[in-house]
Chains A and B, each alone.
Chain A
Amino acid sequence: AQSVTQLDSQVPVFEEAPVELRCNYSSSVSVYLFWYVQYPNQGLQLLLKYLSGSTLVKGINGFEAEFNKSQTSFHLRKPSVHISDTAEYFCAVSAQGGSEKLVFGKGTKLTVNP
């Protein structure tokens, strides 16, 4: 079984500041890792994913994440945030070789203030 822990439920930052949203996971098998974003009253949109290879992955809207196997972490970063980045961010995993079932964390609400 897999579980995902997002360490911060809310992260307030000022516009143009850097941000890091933290994600740790637990699994008895190897996993693929994902970050999704949810804007108010909308579904989820994929930001980026780690399948294999380079541990630093780049996604849409200037976001990137680094996979750290020893620390079982997959933290999301952006060097300079915009007001439009205000949203809920979800970290998720799926078991390698399994179905496309995603196990999500509880989410981090990012609020970007002017």
Chain B
Amino acid sequence: EAGVVQSPRYKIIEKKQPVAFWCNPISGHNTLYWYLQNLGQGPELLIRYENEEAVDDSQLPKDRFSAERLKGVDSTLKIQPAELGDSAVYLCASSTNGQGQETQYFGPGTRLLVL
């Protein structure tokens, strides 16, 4: 079974430029998560989808970040414009549902460097 797929794996951009990340969850997983992980810290949830509905986006900085999961499968996370402080690893994860006891499976992440 294929795992969570993310692309690109690495991205270097200049500040104020836009950037987008893509995630394909494990087949059959209804719940999709985007996390931000800074160096030396644990992942922090940005947004959680149940199918195509964003059910928790309270930690998403909506002035510059946006996300979508139009058909309830793939998802994109966008930053526009990027700031220096956005340099981090962006992790996508998926699970069968969002009830709390299920395992979240993480993708390899996208390492973003903003210059």
Same assembly? no
